[in-house]
Amino acid sequence: MIRSVGMTMTPTPSDQHFRKCVVRLVARLSATESIAQRRKERINRITQGLIDHTLIVWTDEFDRTAMQGNRGGKELKFIGRDHNPGAFTIFLAGAGVKPGFSFGATDDLGYQAVIDPVSVHDLHATMLHLLGFDHLRLTYPFSGANQRLSNITKPGSRVVTEILT
């Protein structure tokens, strides 16, 4: 990235001096652009294909409801939108994820996943698969019992193959 190209010109009525300054400025710009172009080409060579081996995951903790939250039919003391564990958005890219499409949908209010819902455990299973792990075999001990990210107590977690290339 070219941050700046500077040059000092002494005010003079001489056209010759002005032409020399312009020639020097053009030479500097050409050299700087050449360096920038070489740097860009080098970065492209280094990063070419990197997205094929990198899993990008973007999400938040929960989505927010479209309406003011209330629980049990009682208006809340503080006005605001409530968390929504029934549906949320996540962005996956690279590492074998199908590019340029969306998967699943919510109801008209965005309150509940109604088309192709994916559980957190299915998401974990899919991410582990993309990273090269078998989600059924990757377990860890916790409080005296084996645990796994794709939920050992509720069988049925799956790799969401519909989003894979």
Amino acid 67 reads M
Query: Do residues 33 and 60 both lie within one domain?
Result: no
- Asked if the structure places residue 105 within a domain, the reply is yes
Query: Do residues 113 and 157 both lie within one domain?
Result: yes
Asked if residue 137 has pLDDT above 60, the reply is yes
Closest CA to 55 of 132, 159, 131: 131
Whole-number Å distance between alpha carbons of 56 and 64 = 23
Q: Which of 21-35, 95-109, 127-141 is predicted with the least confidence, judged by mean pLDDT?
A: 21-35
Whole-number Å distance between alpha carbons of 152 and 129 = 16
Amino acid 66 reads A
**What's residue 116's pLDDT?**
94
Q: The tokens of 164 are what?
A: 């894979």
DSSP string, 90-108: EEEESTTBPSS----EE-T
Mean pLDDT of 123-151: 88
Look at residue 127 and give its three-state secondary structure: helix
| Domain span at 24 | 15-48
- Asked if the structure places residue 140 within a domain, the reply is yes
Distances from the Cα of 67 to the Cαs of 24, 109, 156, in angstroms? Answer: 63, 9, 33
Query: Do residues 116 and 149 both lie within one domain?
Result: yes
Q: The tokens of 28 are what?
A: 């500097």
- Asked if the structure places residue 32 within a domain, the reply is yes
Mean pLDDT of 72-94: 73
- Selected residue with higher pLDDT from 42 and 13: 42
Asked if residue 71 has pLDDT above 70, the reply is no
Query: Do residues 44 and 57 both lie within one domain?
Result: no
Asked if residue 5 has pLDDT above 60, the reply is no
Query: Do residues 60 and 71 both lie within one domain?
Result: yes
pLDDT per residue as tens digits for the range 145-156 = 888 888 877 778
Whole-number Å distance between alpha carbons of 148 and 138 = 6
Asked if residue 162 has pLDDT above 90, the reply is yes
- Asked if the structure places residue 4 within a domain, the reply is no
Query: Do residues 35 and 58 both lie within one domain?
Result: no
- Asked if the structure places residue 83 within a domain, the reply is yes
- Selected residue with higher pLDDT from 27 and 58: 58
pLDDT per residue as tens digits for the range 22-47 = 677 667 766 677 777 887 887 777 76
Whole-number Å distance between alpha carbons of 142 and 109 = 38
Domains contained in the chain, number: 2
Amino acid 80 reads G
Is the whole-model pTM more than 0.75? no
Query: Do residues 37 and 74 both lie within one domain?
Result: no
